[in-house]
Amino acid sequence: MDILKQTSKRRGVYKWFKRKNKRADDPFHFISEASDDYEDGSDDYTAEALTRSLGRVIANKLRIFVGTWNVGGRSPVGSLTVDLDEWLNPMDAADLYVLGFQEIVPLTAQTIFGAEDPTKATNWNLLIGKTLNDKYGCPWLTPMLNSVSSDNYDHYTMTPQSERVSFSSSPGTPIRECPGTRHEKPYKGSKYKLMASKKMVGVFISVWMKRELLRKYCISNVKVSSVPCGFMGWLGNKGSVSVSMSIEGTTFCFIAAHLASGEKKGDEVRRNRQVSKIFRRTTFPRSSKDDDIPHPLSILGHDKIFWLGDLNYRLYVGDNFARNLIKKQDWRALQEFDQLRKELEEGGVFQGWSEGNIEFAPTYKYSASYFNRYSGGLPMRSGEKQRTPAWCDRILWYGKGVRQLSYFRSESKFSDHRPVSALFSIQVEVVKSSNPRVIAMQTILPRTSTSKPSIPSNSDEEAKSTLLSFIAKDMELKAPLT
DSSP 260-299: ----STTHHHHHHHHHHHHHHH------TT--SS---SSG
The ranges assigned to domains in the chain are: 55-136+189-431
Quick one: which H or E segment has residue 393?
strand 393-398
Instruction: Provide the 10 A C-beta neighbour count for residue 415.
Output: 21
Question: Is residue 311 within 8 Å of 257, Cβ to Cβ?
Answer: yes
**Class of residue 286 by CB neighbours under 10 A (exposed 0-12, middle 13-18, buried 19+):** middle
Most distant CA pair in the chain: distance in Å?
83
**CA dihedral sign of residues 431, 432, 434, 440:** positive
Residue of 6, 13, 7 lying closest to 166 (CA atoms): 13
Q: Residues with Cβ < 8 Å from 301, sequence gap 6 or more?
A: 30, 33, 34, 251
DSSP 209-241: EEHHHHHHS-EEEEEEEEEE-SGGGTSTTSEEE
Residue of 175, 174, 152, 156 lying closest to 241 (CA atoms): 152
Question: Is residue 467 within 8 Å of 444, Cβ to Cβ?
Answer: yes
Question: How many whole angstroms separate alpha carbon 458 and alpha carbon 429?
Answer: 33
**What's 55-136+189-431's CATH class?**
alpha beta
What amino acid occupies position 436?
Answer: P
What amino acid occupies position 55?
Answer: G
pTM listed for this prediction: 0.74
pLDDT in tens for each of the 482 residues of the chain?
555 455 455 455 445 555 555 444 443 343 333 333 333 444 444 444 554 455 567 778 999 999 999 999 998 887 788 899 999 987 789 999 999 999 999 999 999 999 999 999 999 999 999 999 986 444 443 333 333 334 455 554 433 333 333 222 222 223 333 333 333 444 455 799 999 999 999 999 999 999 999 999 999 999 999 999 998 888 999 999 999 999 998 999 999 999 999 999 899 999 999 999 999 999 999 988 777 778 999 999 999 999 999 999 999 999 999 999 999 999 999 999 999 999 999 988 999 999 999 999 999 999 988 778 999 886 666 668 889 999 999 999 999 999 999 999 999 999 999 999 999 999 988 876 555 544 434 333 333 434 444 444 454 444 444 545 544 555 555 444 44
